[in-house]
């Protein structure tokens, strides 16, 4: 269950980044790390506890990520820490974007080179 949930959240984040549009969703912050997920999922179905939780709006552009957080999770009984949570999510999204760009192009060329190098002659 954890692997499929983690995979789902990862693909949700990548989808948000690739569409470069305005996105609204829910989030929880645990140990200064955000978990972002669609509105249809209840906060307490994602985690039993969180340091903060609420709703977010993301606007992803080619050069930047704008984040606004608000609200609370009634299922976890936790408030959002708007400015702090927005900063954490923005840093997280920026790091994923940077890693995605680095590994996206190098992985394709690395895999092709590796297959050629490991192929029997």
Q: For residue range 77-103, what is the model confidence (pLDDT) as tens digits?
A: 999 999 999 999 999 887 776 665 566
Task: Judge whether residue 22 has pLDDT over 50.
Answer: yes
Whether residue 19 lies inside any domain: the answer is yes
Which pLDDT score, from 0 to 100, does residue 113 have? 39
Range of the domain at 29: 2-103
Whether residue 78 lies inside any domain: the answer is yes
State the Cα torsion 66-76-31-99 to the nearest 10°.
Answer: -40
Whether residue 114 lies inside any domain: the answer is no
Whether residue 112 lies inside any domain: the answer is no
Which pLDDT score, from 0 to 100, does residue 43 have? 97
β-pair partners for 59: 22, 66
Top pLDDT among 113 and 16 is at 16
Which pLDDT score, from 0 to 100, does residue 26 have? 95
Mean pLDDT for the chain overall: 76
Which pLDDT score, from 0 to 100, does residue 116 have? 41
Number of domains in the chain: 1
Whether residue 115 lies inside any domain: the answer is no
């Amino acid at each position: 269950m954890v692997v499929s949930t983690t995979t789902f959240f990862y693909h949700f984040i990548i989808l948000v980044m690739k569409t470069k549009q305005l996105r609204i969703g829910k989030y929880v912050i645990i140990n200064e790390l955000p978990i972002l997920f669609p509105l249809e999922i209840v906060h307490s179905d994602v985690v039993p506890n969180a340091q903060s939780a609420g709703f977010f709006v993301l606007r992803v552009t080619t050069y930047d990520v704008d984040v606004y957080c608000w609200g609370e999770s009634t299922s976890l009984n936790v408030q959002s820490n708007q400015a702090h949570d927005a900063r954490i999510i923005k840093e997280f999204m920026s790091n994923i974007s940077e890693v995605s760009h680095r590994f996206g192009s190098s992985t394709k060329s690395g895999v092709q080179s590796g297959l050629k190098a490991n192929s029997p002659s």
